[in-house]
């Protein structure tokens, strides 16, 4: 199947419009422009932007991880990013910095995510990516998980509520400067990955073939993984832990783009963003007067849909 780019952009725009109007209360586009609704418009726009950026970052990151590690199950969180980010965020809350600045938790999560990624890549030599990185990621992830639970164990009730909400995905934008920083970082990292798309094509064939085509699996593979981790860490710092988006969106998108990673990364940026905008819309509207953490919605929506795709593929 060939991807239709205008259709992709139109879908993203339609989803954005729906997300601006939808929520606890439906507000039509005309009403949204009214001065008394400016605050709601402002909050929903910030939330929409956060959802798009996080979804795009997770999807592109997942597609890059799956290519370099040559594993369909690979996604940024499997590289130990979530565990490290969790520790960073928890430490920001426990130290009291999160109460002082809105930047403390995102920065803490980012530092934690990048530190755990370095620990994951440390034992990997000679571009031997694949199972070794995944195993290393799982081990570092579970170590971080245990340490995070220890930190959570020592938290008070108020701090606990903050970290639990964050661990289930929280798309409430904090402030525009933070969003602007991520809004620069995420598209730039995604653009570099799109530029590296052909090299990623070669890497996805395996180290020996990539080497033969003049692409160093060690250097280029590490660069792609670092960019993927950067995107994952940026997403985690903005919105906490949102599973499934990095796993399923690339798989679904690949069915329309084929395996060429320049097309796949570009399309994933759009489909990932749209997917999370729609999931967030569901999270805000499914239960009246109560918001569900978006991570729960992505799992509920994404999981069965992915299974359905797999069954349909096997049956075909």
Partner 1 sequence: MQPLLQFSHLAFGYRKNRPLFHDLNWVVPRGSISAIIGTNGSGKSTLLRLACGMLQPSGGRVLLDGTDIARLPDRVRARRIAVLPQLTCRDLPYRVRELVMLGRLPHRSLWQRFTDADSAAVTAALADLDLADRGEDFFPSLSCGEKQRVLLAAALAQEPALLLLDEPTSALDLCHKLRLMALLHRLRRQRDLTVLLVSHDLELMARTADSLLLLKDGRILAAGKPETVVTTPLLRQAFDSPVSVLPGPDGAPVLIPDAESIDTEQAGKNTYFSGLKK
Closer to partner 1 by Cβ: residue 72 or 175? 72
Residue 316 in the binding site for partner 1 (CB under 8 A): no
Are 45 and 243 in contact by the 8 Å Cβ rule? The answer is no
Closer to partner 1 by Cβ: residue 126 or 158? 126
Q: Please pick, from the candidates 40, 205, 223, 296, the single residue that binds partner 1 as defined by CB under 8 A.
A: 205
Cα angle at 28 between 27 and 31, to 5 degrees?
85
Closer to partner 1 by Cβ: residue 42 or 198? 198
- The stretch among 76-84, 146-154, 189-197, 232-240 that binds partner 1 (CB under 8 A) is 189-197
d(CA 248, CA 184): 25
Query: Which stretches of the chain are DSSP H helices?
Result: 5-21, 29-32, 38-69, 81-94, 97-100, 104-121, 131-153, 157-167, 176-195, 197-203, 207-212, 217-239, 245-257, 261-285, 294-315
Closer to partner 1 by Cβ: residue 17 or 218? 218
Closer to partner 1 by Cβ: residue 117 or 199? 199
Residue 183 in the binding site for partner 1 (CB under 8 A): no
Are 217 and 269 in contact by the 8 Å Cβ rule? The answer is no
d(CA 69, CA 203): 9
| Residues near 74 by beta carbon (within 8 Å), at least 6 away in sequence | 62, 65, 66, 68, 134
Site string (246-275) toward partner 1, x via CB under 8 A = --------x---xxx---------------
Closer to partner 1 by Cβ: residue 214 or 288? 214
Least distance (Å) from partner 1 to the CB of residue 264? 10
Residue 196 in the binding site for partner 1 (CB under 8 A): yes
Site string (208-247) toward partner 1, x via CB under 8 A = xx-xxxxxx-------------------------------
Residue 128 in the binding site for partner 1 (CB under 8 A): no
d(CA 227, CA 52): 18
Residue 73 in the binding site for partner 1 (CB under 8 A): no
Residues of the shown chain interacting with partner 1 in the complex, contacts defined by CB under 8 A: 195-199, 201-202, 204-206, 208-209, 211-216, 254, 258-260
């Amino acid at each position: 199947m060939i991807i239709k780019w205008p259709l992709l952009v139109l879908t993203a725009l339609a989803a954005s419009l729906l997300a601006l109007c939808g929520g606890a209360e439906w507000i039509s586009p005309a009403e949204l422009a009214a001065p008394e609704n400016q605050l709601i418009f402002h909050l929903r726009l910030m939330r929409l932007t956060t959802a798009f950026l996080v979804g795009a970052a997770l999807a592109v990151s997942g597609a890059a991880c799956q290519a370099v590690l040559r594993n369909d199950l690979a996604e940024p969180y499997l590289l130990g990013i979530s565990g490290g980010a969790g520790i960073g965020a928890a430490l920001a809350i426990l130290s009291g910095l999160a109460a002082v600045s809105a930047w403390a938790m995102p920065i803490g999560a980012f530092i934690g995510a990048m530190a755990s990624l370095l620990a994951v890549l440390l034992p990997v030599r000679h571009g031997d990516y694949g199972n070794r990185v995944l195993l290393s990621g799982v081990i570092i992830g579970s170590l971080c998980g245990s340490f995070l639970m220890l930190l959570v164990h020592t938290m008070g009730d108020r701090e606990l509520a903050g970290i639990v909400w964050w661990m289930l995905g929280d798309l409430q934008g904090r402030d525009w400067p933070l969003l602007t920083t991520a809004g620069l970082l995420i598209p730039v990292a995604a653009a570099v990955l799109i530029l590296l798309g052909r090299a990623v094509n070669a890497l996805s064939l395996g180290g020996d073939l990539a080497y033969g085509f003049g692409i160093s699996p060690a250097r280029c593979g590490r660069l792609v993984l670092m960019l993927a981790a950067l995107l994952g860490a940026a997403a985690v710092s903005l919105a906490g832990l949102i599973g499934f988006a990095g796993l399923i969106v690339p798989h679904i998108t690949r069915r329309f783009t084929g395996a060429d990673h320049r097309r796949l990364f570009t399309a994933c940026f759009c489909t990932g963003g749209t997917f999370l905008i729609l999931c967030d819309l569901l999270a805000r509207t499914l239960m009246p007067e109560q918001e569900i953490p978006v991570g729960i919605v992505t799992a509920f929506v994404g999981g069965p849909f992915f299974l359905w795709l797999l069954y349909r593929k096997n049956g075909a």
